[in-house]
């Protein structure tokens, strides 16, 4: 019993031991202030390095000691506000590693493949990854969403689906207006840099599929009404051109925008309607054709318009002249060829369409050598256009 009491006197309770240790540390700290400061600093540095993350970018730049705030489909958002797209990341060591690994596997690699194909202008290979990515980024506004929408735009252009390409153009315009980074990023991928009137050089509003428009009209309206206001009237022109081509109804609340189109836009819209009627039972009369031709003549030259608007006007002018019984066919052919010779690569889609229509007219009307000359020009200058592709397919049959 005495032995037990002696041991109790020697062995302090745990709480008393901790108190003694604290007193000792405080006494030591008061005698060694410099050492204490160094110890605390080292402890803070060590703790921050344990908490910090590291990101390695595709260009092999390393972002060390960063703090990740959020990881989602848009990318890695850092504590300082920066957002790193999943497509730009090679690998990362993060506190949120599981979340990152899942997103990187399902989204990061497909986004990177799409970007590489866009930079190489390999638009034929975009379809594989788009099906997975479009539902994810449809309602997002990040750079990754812009990348997916650029790919979607080029995919539709590659397929010759101008109606859905115009819908993508609406979305790209909206993304560009949200922030300057999106605008410069979209332009860097050679996507449609909108001119002052909102038209894209890659979109010819003259080859629009009626069935596609009718099937997608609800979503097209949603894309159109989501455009920021005010916006260039060329976007309204695209919308009403699609409505004409699709034979669909425009909601009454949207009709006022049609009356605000410029003189050139309204004139081209009327000409487009006449050409659509050629494919229906509403064949325009010569008086109808000549009346629209007068609007082109009364306005004089097409100077002062953007290259894309000027190309569109020359195209419709030429097409209507070929239909007129009062004007030499050579005048119409000349205006179609002017699209290519005077505007060319500034509006490649319309230039290719003008050469295609010229070749088709010459094939039956004049010596075959003239048509072959035009077809060679089409294939050499605009080889990736849908018009060149259709010509090659017809030749292979």
Looking at residue 84, its pLDDT comes to 92
Looking at residue 36, its pLDDT comes to 45
71-108 burial: b if 16+ Cβ within 10 Å, else e: bebbbbbbeeeebbbbbbbeebebeeeeebeebbeebb
Boundary of a domain, candidates 238, 261, 284: 261
Domain extent, residue 161, equals 121-261
- Residue 61's CATH number: 2.30.30
Please report whether residue 395 resides in a domain: yes
Please report whether residue 10 resides in a domain: no
Looking at residue 394, its pLDDT comes to 85
Looking at residue 6, its pLDDT comes to 44
Does residue 396 sit in the same domain as residue 342? Answer: yes
Please report whether residue 2 resides in a domain: no
Instruction: Report DSSP letters for 266-335, one per residue.
Output: HHHHHHHHHHHHTTSS-PPPHHHHHHHHHHHHHT---TTS-HHHHHHHHHHHHHHHHH-SSS-HHHHHHH
Does residue 88 sit in the same domain as residue 137? Answer: no
Does residue 136 sit in the same domain as residue 237? Answer: yes
Does residue 101 sit in the same domain as residue 197? Answer: no
CA distances from 69 to 81, 295, 393 (A): 9, 60, 53
Note whether 166 and 246 are within 8 A (CB).
no
Does residue 138 sit in the same domain as residue 63? Answer: no
Does residue 159 sit in the same domain as residue 104? Answer: no
Looking at residue 5, its pLDDT comes to 42
Tokens representing 50 are 């344990």
Please report whether residue 396 resides in a domain: yes
Boundary of a domain, candidates 71, 88, 117: 117
Does residue 190 sit in the same domain as residue 289? Answer: no
The DSSP call for residue 81 is S
Sheet holding 62-66, edge to edge: 62-66, 53-57, 89-93
Please report whether residue 276 resides in a domain: yes
Looking at residue 192, its pLDDT comes to 67
Please report whether residue 11 resides in a domain: no
**DSSP strand pairing (75-78 vs 89-93):** unpaired
Looking at residue 304, its pLDDT comes to 76
SS3 of residue 367 by DSSP: coil
Predicted model pTM: 0.82
Please report whether residue 5 resides in a domain: no
Q: At 167, give phi and psi (nearest 5°).
A: -60, -40
Does residue 167 sit in the same domain as residue 256? Answer: yes
Instruction: Report DSSP letters for 217-274, one per residue.
Output: HHHHHHHHHTS-SS--HHHHHHHHHHHHHHT-PPPGGGTHHHHTS-HHHHHHHHHHHH
Please report whether residue 383 resides in a domain: yes
Based on the structure, what is the number of domains in the chain? 4
Strand partners, 62: 56
Does residue 220 sit in the same domain as residue 97? Answer: no
Looking at residue 238, its pLDDT comes to 97
Does residue 151 sit in the same domain as residue 110? Answer: no
- Residue 324's CATH number: 1.25.40
Q: Could you give the count of Cα atoms lying within 13 Å of 322 in the half-sphere of its Cβ? A: 24
Strand partners, 54: 93
Diameter of the chain measured on Cα atoms: 133
Boundary of a domain, candidates 92, 117, 142: 117
> pLDDT tens digits, the chain, 397 residues: what are they?
444 444 433 333 434 444 444 444 445 446 655 554 444 454 444 444 445 789 999 888 899 988 899 999 999 999 998 999 999 999 998 988 988 999 999 999 999 999 999 988 888 888 778 988 999 999 999 999 999 999 999 999 998 999 999 999 999 999 998 888 888 889 888 766 666 789 999 998 888 999 999 999 999 999 999 999 999 999 999 999 999 999 999 999 999 999 999 999 999 999 999 998 876 667 788 898 989 998 887 655 566 788 899 999 999 999 999 999 989 999 999 999 999 999 999 999 999 999 999 999 998 776 667 888 999 999 999 998 999 999 998 887 6
Looking at residue 123, its pLDDT comes to 86
Does residue 140 sit in the same domain as residue 255? Answer: yes
Does residue 36 sit in the same domain as residue 73? Answer: no
């Amino acid at each position: 019993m005495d032995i037990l009491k002696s041991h109790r006197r020697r062995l302090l309770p745990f709480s008393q031991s901790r108190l003694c240790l604290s007193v000792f540390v405080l006494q030591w700290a008061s005698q060694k202030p410099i050492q204490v400061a160094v110890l605390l600093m080292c402890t803070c540095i060590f703790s921050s390095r344990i908490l910090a993350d590291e990101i390695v970018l595709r260009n092999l730049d390393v972002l060390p000691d960063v703090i990740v705030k959020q990881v989602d489909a848009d990318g890695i958002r850092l504590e300082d506000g920066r957002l790193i797209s999943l497509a730009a990341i090679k690998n990362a060591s993060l506190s949120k590693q599981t979340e990152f690994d899942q997103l990187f596997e399902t989204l990061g690699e497909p986004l990177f493949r799409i970007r590489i194909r866009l930079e190489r202008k390999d638009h034929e290979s975009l379809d594989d990854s788009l099906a997975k990515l479009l539902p994810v980024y449809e309602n997002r506004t990040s750079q990754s969403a812009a990348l997916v929408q650029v790919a979607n735009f080029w995919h539709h252009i590659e397929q010759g689906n101008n109606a859905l390409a115009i819908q993508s153009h609406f979305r790209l315009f909206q993304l560009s207006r949200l922030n300057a980074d999106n605008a410069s990023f979209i332009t860097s991928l050679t996507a449609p840099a909108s001119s002052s009137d909102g038209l894209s050089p890659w979109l010819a509003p003259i080859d629009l599929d009626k069935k596609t428009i009718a099937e997608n009209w609800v979503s097209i309206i949603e894309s159109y009404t989501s455009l920021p206001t005010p916006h260039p009237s060329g976007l309204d022109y695209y919308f009403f051109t699609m409505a004409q081509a699709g034979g669909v109804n425009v909601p009454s609340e949207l009709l006022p925008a049609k009356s605000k189109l410029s003189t050139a836009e309204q004139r081209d819209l009327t000409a487009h309607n006449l050409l659509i009627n050629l494919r229906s039972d509403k064949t325009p009369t010569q008086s109808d054709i000549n009346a629209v031709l007068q609007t082109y003549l009364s306005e004089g030259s097409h100077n002062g318009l953007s290259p894309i608007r000027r190309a569109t006007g020359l195209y419709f002018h030429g097409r209507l002249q070929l239909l007129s019984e009062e004007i030499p066919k050579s005048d119409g052919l000349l205006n179609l060829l002017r699209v290519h010779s005077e505007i060319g690569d500034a509006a490649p889609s319309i230039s290719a369409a003008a050469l295609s229509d010229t070749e088709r007219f010459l094939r039956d009307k004049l010596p075959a050598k003239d048509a072959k000359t035009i077809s060679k020009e089409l294939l050499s200058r605009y080889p990736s256009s849908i018009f060149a592709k259709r010509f090659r397919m017809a030749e292979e049959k």
